[in-house]
Amino acid sequence: MHKEKNILFLLGKNESKIAMLYGLYAEKIRGRKKFWLALAKEERGHGEVIRELDERCRNEDEFLKLNRHARQIVSYISEFIDNEIKKAETERISHGEALASALRLEQSMIESKSFEIFEPVGGPVAAVFRKINRETKVHMKELRKMCKG
């Protein structure tokens, strides 16, 4: 049970770090602040929902069963986010570069099935992950649209 909660905590932390990355983009990219802040706000919301889920799983008998690749998926994405944050903090970054990075990140989360690393026990847990997965797909569409236009 400890491993599951640890992974759930790290997944929520990843969402918060994505919010931080998008917040950095909002600060550094002129004329696109509103776009990046909106994405950052949604990512913060994902982190909060996952933290609440982690608390609920701790306080109730509801739990999650990890799939066999969970640790690798969460770790890979965490490292990618950390690298992008460092880059955004230390380098000049264009809107196009930020879009490409964000799109790669959001796609990685969908393709690696980040929100499917658990086999939820109970409807509410599964519903939270389905919602975040849907919203991540919306982010991908918004990022692609911004890349084209």
Q: For the segment 24-79, what is each residue's pLDDT rounded down to a tens digit?
A: 999 999 899 999 999 999 999 999 998 888 777 765 545 556 666 777 888 889 99
Residue entry with tokens 């982010």: 139
The structural domain count of the chain equals 1
pTM over 0.95: no
Q: What's the rounded mean pLDDT across residues 11-19? A: 94
Which domain does 54 fall in, by range? Answer: 2-148
Token pair of 74 as six digits: 């969460």
Q: What's the rounded mean pLDDT across residues 2-8? A: 60
CA angle 81, 113, 144 (to 5 degrees): 65
> Quick one: pLDDT band at residue 2, thresholds 50, 70, 90?
very low
Residue 90, sorted as left (phi over 0), alpha (psi -120 to 50) or beta, turns out to be alpha
> Quick one: pLDDT band at residue 123, thresholds 50, 70, 90?
low
CB neighbourhood size of 31 (10 A): 7
DSSP 3-state of 1 = coil
Where do runs of H (alpha helix) occur along the chain?
2-28, 33-59, 70-90, 95-111, 123-148
| Distance (Å, whole) CA 64 – CA 3 | 10
| Distance (Å, whole) CA 50 – CA 132 | 9
Q: What percent of the chain has pLDDT over 70?
A: 81
Mean pLDDT, all residues of the chain: 84
Where is pLDDT greater, at 107 or 121? Answer: 107
Q: Is the pLDDT of residue 99 over 90?
A: yes
Q: What is the CATH number of the domain that holds 66?
A: 1.20.1260
